[in-house]
Amino acid sequence: MKLPKDSDTPPYRLVAEELRRQIRSGRLKPGERVPSSRDLEATYEIANMTARSALRILRDEGLVYSMPGRGNFVADPLPSEADPKAGATEAASGGRMPTPEYVELSERLDAINARLDSLLQVFQQLGGTTGPKK
């Protein structure tokens, strides 16, 4: 499944949005293993760094948790997520309002990742590959 090339949204955000939809819809259930960064890389035809960035967003939002050596898993829903009247920002930040520093860092990381994604596309257009080193 290819991501739309004409989207203004960075690819890692598009992947995070898709995984978030799968979690919220119940397709991915609490305790269930989330696709690995390698699986996401193959499914969405993205760089591994892009896949890891998507997973980082979901971890930061409290939707998934990591177990070293085992993978990422869907977290149990927060009580505020069960309340449809709960604010999206509050639910996304684990029930806490993000600090201004967190928001600023998140925006800076978004810009860096978007730039890296565009550089990767240029690199690939010039014939470069992102496969394993031999």
User: pLDDT, tens digit, for every residue of 86-133?
Assistant: 444 444 545 555 667 777 788 788 888 888 888 888 888 888 876 666
Reported as a pLDDT band with limits 50, 70 and 90, residue 43 is very high
Tell which residue, 36, 12, 24, has the closest CA to residue 106: 12
| Per-residue pLDDT, 6 | 84
Give residue 110's pLDDT: 82
**Which has more confidence, 52 or 91?**
52
Check pLDDT > 70 for residue 26: yes
The mean pLDDT of the chain is 82
pLDDT at 52 over 50: yes
Contacts of 73 (CB under 8 A, 6+ apart): 31, 32, 33, 34, 64, 65, 66, 67
pTM: 0.60
Please count the other Cβ atoms lying within 10 Å of the Cβ belonging to residue 115: 11
Which pLDDT score is estimated for 97?
A: 57
pLDDT for the residue numbered 16? 95
Task: With a cut of 60, say whether residue 84 has pLDDT above it.
Answer: no
Region 45-52: what's the mean pLDDT?
A: 94
CATH class of the region 1-81: mainly alpha
Which residue's structure tokens are 């955000």? Answer: 13
**Domain ranges within the chain, ordered by starting residue:** 1-81, 96-127
How far is the C-alpha of 129 from the C-alpha of 67, rounded, in Å?
A: 30
pLDDT of residue 94: 52
Structure tokens at 79: 């009580």
